[in-house]
Amino acid sequence: MKTFKNFIGGKWQEPASGEFFENRNPANWDDVIGQFPLSDQRDVECAVLSAQRGFEIWRSTPAPARGDVLRRVGDIMAKRKEEIADLMTREMGKPLTETRGDVQEGIDTAYYASSEGRRLFGHTVPSELKNKWAMSFRRPIGIAGLVTPFNFPMAIPTWKAFPALTCGNAVILKPAEDVPHTATALVEVLLEAGLPPEVIQLVHGRGEIAGKALVEHPKVPVISFTGSTETGSFVGETCGRMHKRLSLEMGGKNAMIVLDDANLELALDGVLWGAFGTTGQRCTATSRLLLQSGVHDEFLSRLVERVRTLKLGDGRAKGTDIGPLISEAALNKVEKYVDIGVAEGGDLLIGGRRAQGGGKGLEKGFFYEPTIFARVEAGMRIEQEEIFGPVLSVIRVTNVDEAFAINNGVKYGLSSSVYTRDVNVAFRAQNELDNGITYINAPTIGAEAHLPFGGVKQTGNGHREGGWGVYDFYSETKVGYVDFSGQLQRAQIDNYLGTPD
């Protein structure tokens, strides 16, 4: 069995505990990828000390030069795209078509971050006093602690790490313990591209130990977390008490609304991808389908028939549409919610059980059939709570107002989608749907790397991943004044003409 290490202090090293955990293929639990460090507070402490040294080097590197390193990262990732996608599918499960896209997001983010090295703009503004210059500019903050999830093993760490690095910060990455191999590959790429070794630290291990130690460390002023709302609440409480800068990206319960005037074939393609892509393991997954009465029956019938054609299997096998869930725990959670849906009176139209082997080897992995509930009512638990699996709840609505109200009637506010030919409804949706992202005639998934990503309510805390806004998060704004008048001038006391009151 191959043994992997942390990257701390500019070198690959074993954890202080000497203990490791196994990383296995969720499509075939007999396939052991390797063992990875079970890190603890001691490893985090060493990582922080090293990152402090790295920060002093990196902060003094000109931002365009930092961007050049990120450009080389993108070039290397493009060359290794197929290799990284393959190892990602092996440890995470989603089909190669999706992991290739995951790597491509990292490549796009690298090139975008590279260009932002020349666009870390401040402002130069007029002073209210004569012979005085006023301006703002960006400064790096320090060490950024990044805690990332399993479902996008490359894309999400790059969303966080690349802007942080472009802004001049050092980074400590604690990836989900389900996907440590992809994080290791990312650090290898960063080092190959010429990033000074102590600027990046990789600490593997469990969230409740290594992740907690990173969040609680007093010398880590910036935390970016993607994961469950429950864990995010703990992270938020800790960072609030310690006055840390914090970005939270948490759960979703996203609705796709199909109105009577919609292009039904387009909407069918959208809901299949939105609900069952990544086996429903996306914070933006389409977990609620709101069908207007005029199209409800026809659309639902056609949807069930399309779902019957989806092929479950190993994501590296040709023709696979849906891979496994990430773990036994995830599989058990989906089963629990299906039982809840039946008990609540939902009409289980298709799925609702673990996938049978049938000679296809599915019994060795965590496969669950794509599942659809009809006759779901607003307020049911399967309509309100995040399942994070291939379960779709279908709700009949009579009009646009009802659909919008149901969309907004959950504690999350990440993504939404409306299929309509009515331009007025489309623009109403942009204004009235209480989400950070709204798609028109597209599913609830499909964010692009150069636009802000995030949500409202219990989905996040107001910050955004991606786009231009994330560079504000990873940098401090400093204001500078230069008075060359040769005399004392009193801002907001002396008048604008520079003469005494």
Show which residues are catalytic.
249, 283
Q: How far apart are CA 342 and CA 393, in angstroms?
A: 12
Other Cβ atoms less than 10 A from the Cβ of 497: the count is 9
Q: How many whole angstroms from its chain centre is CA 484?
A: 48
Q: How far apart are CA 52 and CA 74, in angstroms?
A: 26
Instruction: Compute CA distances 350 → 353, 374, 390, whole Å.
Output: 9, 10, 11
Q: How far apart are CA 38 and CA 288, in angstroms?
A: 38
Contacts 24+ apart (CB under 8 A), 296-300: 296/396, 298/264, 299/258, 299/264, 299/267, 299/268, 300/349, 300/372, 300/374, 300/394
Backbone angles phi, psi at 331, to 5 degrees: -65, -45
| Residue 208 DSSP label | I
Q: How far apart are CA 303 and CA 265, in angstroms?
A: 10
Query: Hey, what amino acid is at 432?
Result: E
Which residue bears the tokens 């990875």?
36
Task: Kindly provide the b/e burial profile for residues 261-290, where b requires at least 16 CB atoms within 10 angstroms of the residue's own CB.
Answer: ebeeeebbebbbbbbbbbbbbbbbbbbbbb
Q: How many whole angstroms from its chain centre is CA 397?
A: 31
User: 387 with 333: CB under 8 angstroms?
Assistant: yes
| DSSP E strands, 340-464 | 347-350, 371-374, 391-397, 412-413, 415-419, 437-440, 456-457
User: 205 with 15: CB under 8 angstroms?
Assistant: yes
Nearest to 112 by CA among 122, 124, 104: 104
475-483 and 132-140 as β-strands: parallel, antiparallel, unpaired? antiparallel
